[in-house]
Amino acid sequence: MKNTANNKDYALLSYHHIPGVHNIDIFERAGGYETMKECFNKEPEAIKEEVKLSGLRGRGGAGFATGVKWGFFTKDRNAKKYLLCNADESEPGTFKDRYLVEKNPHILIEGMIISAWALATQKGYIYIRGEFYQQAMILERAIKEAYAKGYLGKNILGKGFDFDLYVHRGAGAYICGEETGMISSLEGKKGQPKLKPPFPAIKGYRGLPTMVNNVESLAAIPWIMRHGAAAYKQWGTEKSPGTKLFSISGDVNKPGVIEVPLSTSLKDIIEIHCGGMRNGNKLKAVIPGGSSAPIFNAEDSYIVKMDYEDVAAKGSMLGSGAIIVLDETRNMGDVLKWTLEFYHHESCGQCTPCREGTGWLESVFKRREKGQAHKSDIDLLDKTASSMRGQTICALADAAAMPTQGMIKVFREELETYVSASTKK
């Protein structure tokens, strides 16, 4: 197999090789915004149908079908509603959305305009994490360019359709990536999630219908509308059609972002796209879908195909497509400790099982530092994690529990040694 990463024949990074493509004229010369113009001659329902047929699954982590979610949205075109792009990208290991928009902001804007036309949203916001300051500026400039061309604002291209689009910067809180936390944050509050249902599509920002989609989901729309759902399905599997961005970090020679068809093997991703293992070391484990995804041992890592169903069948999840590669020199105790510190720090504190649970999980590692942890603490970790699942307002508690239990399943002995090695007798 050849190295097809960033291949211009794919959907999302197809403009990435063009110098200066963040500039609207260069983007348009390469065919950008053509699909948007064509879409304004299509019935909104026809666009929704095409997206549904493409089988595109939300790229923010949960993998829920975008077309199906769009189907839950009110069809009343006059009702006030919002399109909210999730560019919070805070799941540890994830940096694909950043890579996509910093080089090619217009692919997202084009996708949002088409989506807005299909969904009849009058206003849109790109909620981008505070740390992505330069990327927010790139998007701001690109939006200005699109306004100047008449692609945003009032009566777009004389079609009697209004759509305003703004960038909204977060300020450093992982939980704002969760869609209802994001809505609270956009409302000018603490980014605390709200109980679902009602789902944002029914009752979201300011109590109004709000469609929340990830950057990568929205950026896939122009390609799908240009080439059709059938063409999109040439890639991937029946249940995981299309291409996906993966962000790979850790012990590989070439960490970075690639676009490959879903169902590409993890082995190819590591060995071909990422230039193999760093220092020629042996692979020990892989976190396949961001820090909340249960870890794979080397054996599973070498046989898994990166699509939603195969990763799930092997006990983990594709999540945001953040692949963290760990070699033989890594201690899984360290990895779990870093993971759990993160979730404790990021729990918004509303739900007791999450606030207390993430604290308990982390405390085992704090005790270890004082020489007060025991082998049996691994069972305690397992039990605590299990009691946190499905009990809370949002999925952060589960996101902390899943990798904990996954790690114990695969590396129990190593964890037991890790916590008890320095135990004072």
Return residues touching ligand SF4 (CB under 6 A). Answer: 175, 193, 347-351, 354-355, 392-394, 396-397
The 3-class secondary structure across 348-377, one letter per residue, is CCCCHHHHHHHHHHHHHHHHHHCCCCCCCH
Which of these, 21, 4, 58, lies nearest to 219 by C-alpha position? 58
The minimum distance between CB 199 and ligand FMN, in angstroms, equals 10
Site for another protein (CB under 8 A): which residue of 291, 292, 301, 392? 291
Name the residue whose CB lies closest to ligand SF4: 354
The minimum distance between CB 366 and another protein, in angstroms, equals 12
How far is 22 from 199, CA to CA, in rounded Å? 34
Cβ-based nearer residue to another protein, 29 or 189: 189
Angle at alpha carbon of residue 307, lines to 235 and 139, rounded to 5° = 75
Site for ligand FMN (CB under 6 A): which residue of 90, 192, 347, 350? 90
Helices 396-420 and 352-369, packing angle to 10 deg: 20
The minimum distance between CB 341 and ligand FMN, in angstroms, equals 16
The minimum distance between CB 290 and ligand FMN, in angstroms, equals 9
Site for another protein contains 342 (CB under 8 A):
yes
Site for ligand FMN contains 394 (CB under 6 A):
yes
How far is 271 from 258, CA to CA, in rounded Å? 13
Site for another protein contains 95 (CB under 8 A):
yes
Note the residue count of the chain: 425
Which string of x and - marks every residue 235-254 that binds ligand FMN (by CB under 6 A)?
--------------------
The minimum distance between CB 176 and ligand SF4, in angstroms, equals 10
User: Locate tokens 């909620």: which residue?
Assistant: 127
Site for another protein contains 326 (CB under 8 A):
yes
Quote the DSSP letter at residue 284.
E
Site for ligand FMN (CB under 6 A): which residue of 86, 184, 210, 350? 86
CA 386 from centre of chain: 25
Of residues 103-132, those binding another protein (CB under 8 A):
123, 129-132
User: Locate tokens 């293992």: which residue?
Assistant: 277
* Backbone phi, psi, residue 244, to 5°: -145, 145
How far is 314 from 209, CA to CA, in rounded Å? 36
Residue 294 interacts, among another protein, ligand FMN, ligand SF4, none and using kind-specific CB cut-offs from 5 to 8 Å, with: none
Q: If DSSP codes are grouped into helix, strand and coil, which group holds residue 76?
A: coil
Report yes or no: 304 and 110 within 8 Å, Cβ to Cβ.
no
Site for ligand FMN contains 217 (CB under 6 A):
yes
Quote the DSSP letter at residue 163.
B
Residue 64 interacts, among another protein, ligand FMN, ligand SF4, none and using kind-specific CB cut-offs from 5 to 8 Å, with: ligand FMN
Question: Bridge partners of 286?
Answer: 296, 325
Residues lying near another protein in the complex (CB under 8 A) are found at 89-95, 98, 123, 129-134, 164, 166, 168-175, 185-191, 206, 247-251, 255-257, 287, 291, 322, 324, 326, 330, 334-335, 338-339, 342, 345-349
Residues lying near ligand FMN in the complex (CB under 6 A) are found at 58-62, 64, 66, 86, 88-91, 177-179, 212-214, 217, 394-396, 399
